[in-house]
Structure 1
Amino acid sequence: MVLHENMLAEVKRQLGEARGRGSMEVLAMVDALQRLAIDRHFRNEVKAALEEQCTMYSACGDLHEQVLRFRMLRQEGYNVPLDISRWFDIVESVACGRAPGRDDILGLASLHEASHLCTEGEDILERVGEIVCQKLNVSLSMITDHKLAKFVRDTLRNPVHKSIPRLASSNNIRDDHLLWSNYGWNSALQELALLDSSLVKFKYHEEFHQVTKWWNDLGLGKELKFARDNLLKWYMWTIVAIDNPNLSKERVELTKPISFVYIIDDIFDVYGTLDELVLFTDSIIGWSPHENLPEYMKVCFQALNNITNEISDEVYQRHGWNPLISLRKSWARLVEAFLVEARWFTNGTCPAADDYLQNAIVSSGVPVVLVHVFFLLGEGITEKNIDILDGLPGVVSSPATILRLWDDLGSASDEDQDGNDGSYVEYYKKEHPGCTDASARAHVEGLIAKEWKKLNRECLLPREFPNSFCKACLNAARMVPLMYDYNEDHSLPLLKEHMDSMLFSGQASRTS
């Protein structure tokens, strides 16, 4: 599209000019490109700009510039050190009672954003983040600038690092963003982002049409009437995990194993008897249907077998590696974890909270999905990396843990299930008599924060897996609140907002 290409050229030119005008402006522009979800068009230019920032990491600047530089580099995987002493002195001066000015607020907001990128062993940054969060909340009542107050509220509610870039971009396109509204390149970026969003949305519509045709042709929804049929929800996982709009084929293929995770989960949690589940598990471990397997399980197994073979063939054709053994192994591990939970429930067993969690990391379905993501992306496929992947490395286990614990904190049980999965909160309270629900939940929230630190560490250089896979794992963790933050009506308002923004009107209903 000629207009799109011309706009790309113009923004590229302006990015080059910004690099010559000073570090703060180029940091602001790269931040804007990322927040508007158009940075993929300027990978080389952004990399070059950040390399320059890395060489001047210890350069002077106000708190906002210093911390913005830290965050931008950390987000891209640069393992830059903390400069917490300088930052903390400024925070203390702001926290001593004087009314914060605009520059103070921007600096504090940057620190709040940066605190979400802390890794294990950086507790001081986490603590500074907590202090800053309290200070910003107090300052809100004193901020008379409407745009500045909105920026602070958005920062507190949706820190960049834990937000879904394309969902956040839809809000940033509509808003005149505080951080870059006064720069000369602002209008060009906004125009490009608006056009780009329309082109991406059209692509998503095409993909969902392909997914719908596959699902209807498969006919599994009719055969297994007890199972969930939430095709749009399953597809939404792929939009977030594999967010490069150019990877349409990969998103369509990924929707297929995601759908089977949900279907097989329902077989174990809702419909199958324990004897049937044992046969089903043995069939998938041996990858051959047991002769006494019920018909509905045979249908599911055959469909799973076909999909696994098709994806393996696709990966081999595109990347020269046949992942069939790895994919089958990941499915076997999933159903074994499901069977452990089914036995616990049937026998009335109350497992230790840690035992439950170790099993639940696998039964979350995240590992089997991320194994498929790794092969579909096709980067960094080696015997060594496959062995590491089979061992559930932190880049996989952390998002799985975050999902399971967040789900267990949920205010509503899953849509069509009977609540037979158990819960870490429930088991933890039984292990600790006298522990209140609030204390147990606080403990779980602490575990989630710890897993985010581990995941942040996994995404820093040097790392074992390519950036594309690490980003997909990070995006999976970012998606969790949308998928499991039920309201009192047992609905998912954040997910609905994302669906509206990505696939429908583009004018998503705003939630507070």
Structure 2
Amino acid sequence: MASLYMTSALIYQNAITHNNFRFPSFICRSMTKMTPDNVSVDVLRRRSGNYQPSPWDHSYLLSINNKYAKEEKVIARDLLKEKVRKMLGAETKSRREQLELIDDLQKLGISYHFEVEINNILMDFHHKNGRGVWKCDKEEDLHATSLEFRLLRQHGFHVSEDIFDVIIDKIESETFKSDDINSIISLYEASYLSTKSDIKLREVIRPFAKKQIRKFVDGETCNLEVREKAIHALEMPYHWRMRRLETRWYLDSYDNKHDTNLVLIEFAKLDFNIVQIAHQEDLKYVSSWDVNRLDELPEYMRLCFLILFNEINSIGCDIFKYKNIDVIPFLRKSWADLCNTYLVEAKWYKKGYKPGVEEYMQNAWISISAPTILIHFYCIFSDKISVQILETLSQHRQEIVRCSATILRLANDLGTSRDELARGDVLKSAQCYTHETGASEEEAHAHVQQMICDTWDEINYETKMARTYSLLSRGFVEAAVNLARMSQCMYQYGDGHGCPDKAKTVERVMSLLVNPVPLR
């Protein structure tokens, strides 16, 4: 069961630093009654999560010295940026070359510098191709068409799955002859931009492409570059991956290509290292606590409540000061709703109750805390705050939030359930499914994984609808999608929070936030 962690960072503002401070141990007396001193009372001790000590501390973060903070590095980066901008505007590039350049910019983490240019290019493609009704009728066009389909859908353009009808006919009639594995990988990646109505993408294209890629990986090949790309795609599709982490992987992958664009890779590496500095500065702020009044607080629950109460009021006061709207009632309700779901889980555990999957998920998508995270994001980072949107968020009526939270919950369940059940916790989604249907553990895990796939289809649909009809900002929608991506990353190899070494969390944090990318 999720809980408040005493050593977590307050992630809103900088607080006073106390490097030598260590939090004392507390006994949870929140469920005991106040009795006279001469009466024995059973103290309810909280079950231990047995989490490993954090490998990070504030002094370590303060000691990081990044040489890319120098102004000369920023100037060099900006000069390279203008060279790349000229590449985007070059009229001599073919459709395929433009699409591959946009894809490289995105995967290298530098597309944010060229959002207007990229959007204009994609809009031009969309209009030229009849607003998404063109057909891919040649296998040699498959890579470019798949790439264009994925990029257009990622950027909110309507493109029909019918563009692959000719290819689908060849797949179903077993006359598809292409052995270009790069085209198959592009087709596979495109299939993950499906929505609930895209039956052909989900049931024909994705299984076919996956089978072909696996066949390639299992076979003999001397092209290690493409084999690594194929294995990476099978592990997790690009659309599901945490963007910054994927950028770090792609920097190495792109650098090893036989046709590496030296300007592009140098720009991307410099930009990564410069952005890393900003992340390091943020970490220095969020890793400190204000503990001035700690000695005055005698009890574990009172401490948690008071810290949270003060923090929410501080956030609310700042927002009221700068945006003239009182968000404190909405933030308080989000925490109350979260704690109520914890209480439901505690009651289930105490009674030995085994809910069905549907009943479990009605509570669990809120108890994973994604709605609480996202309403705070909306309040803090929105340029304009709408009471109407706050109400829909507070009442859990935003589907994009539910979808993001569902993926976070299911990914968490798959990654943590074994350890959490061992120390004593409520059943997770897979165990609920097993109890409800009699399925095996393997079948239950496959069912939960399919639930994740289906929810991604919903996210893709809700993202498209939000960009067209919703009052939600693009930034909020991206935050909701990125929260889902983060969860797929956090629990990809197990419990990335409880067992960070085994789940590669420490390795990933070091590569993203501590170690700069070496330049050529």
Name the counterpart of 1:51.
123
* The one of 464, 468, 476 aligned to 1:462: 468
**Counterparts of 1:416 and 1:424, CA distance in 2:** 12
Partner of 1:291: none
Map 1:376-415 → 2, pairs under 5 A: 376-379=380-383, 381-392=385-396, 393-410=398-415, 413=418
Identity of aligned residues (%): 30
Change (3 A) 1:118 1:478: same
Is the aligned partner of 1:32 residue 2:104? yes
Q: Report the alpha carbon displacement of residue 347 of structure 1 after superposing the two structures with TM.
A: 2.2
Match in the other structure for 1:111 = 187
2:84 equivalent to 1:11: yes
How far the C-alpha of 1:319 sits from its partner, in A, is: 3.8
Superposed displacement of residue 486, structure 1: 5.0
For 2:444, the aligned partner's letter is: A
Q: Is the 8 A contact 1:485 1:494 kept in 2?
A: no
**How do 1:396-475 residues align onto structure 2 when only pairs under 5 Å count?**
396-410=401-415, 413=418, 418-432=423-437, 434-460=438-464, 461-464=467-470, 465-475=472-482
Deviates more, 1:400-409 or 1:115-124: 400-409
Tell me the equivalent position of 1:328: 332
8 Å CA contact retained: 2:195, 2:457: yes
Indicate the residue corresponding to 2:214 in structure 1.
Answer: 137
* Distance (whole Å) between structure 1 residues aligned to residue 443 and residue 95 of structure 2: 45
C-alpha separation in 2, matches of 1:192 and 1:22 = 23
Is 1:173 paired with 2:245? no
Partner of 2:34: none
Equivalence map 1:85-164=2 (5 Å): 85-89=165-169, 91=171, 96=175, 100-101=178-179, 104-127=180-203, 128-140=205-217, 141-164=219-242
1:70 equivalent in alignment to 2:149: yes
Q: Does the CA contact (< 8 Å) of 2:434 and 2:444 recur in 1?
A: yes
Q: SS of 2:404's equivalent?
A: helix
Q: Is the 8 Å Cα contact of residues 91 and 108 (structure 1) preserved in structure 2? A: no
Aligned equivalent of 1:356: 360
Amino acid at match of 2:84: V
Cα distance change, pair 114–177 in 1 and its aligned pair in 2 (3 A)? farther
Aligned length: 428
Structure 1 stretches lacking a partner, 5+ long: 225-293
SS in structure 1 at match of 2:415: coil
* TM-score, structure 2 normalization: 0.76
Partner letter of residue 134 of structure 1?
A: K
Secondary structure of the equivalent of 1:138?
Answer: helix
Closer/same/farther in 2, CA of residues 20 and 385 from structure 1, 3 Å limit: farther
Which stretches in structure 2 are left out of the alignment for 5+ residues? 1-73
CA gap of 1:411–1:348, structure 2 versus 1, over 3 A, is closer
- What per-residue deviation string (whole Å, max 9, x for no partner) do you get for residues 51-73 of structure 1? 11211232767011111111001
Cross-structure match for 1:372:
376
Distance 1:142 1:455, change over 3 A: same
**Whole-angstrom CA distance in 1 between matches of 2:277 and 2:421:** 31
Q: Are residues 483 and 417 of structure 1, via their aligned partners in 2, closer, same or farther at CA, if it must alter by over 3 Å?
A: farther
Greater RCO between the two (CA within 8 Å, min separation 6)?
2
**SS of aligned partner of 1:175:** helix
Q: Larger % of helix: which?
A: 1
Aligned residue number for residue 261 of structure 1 = none
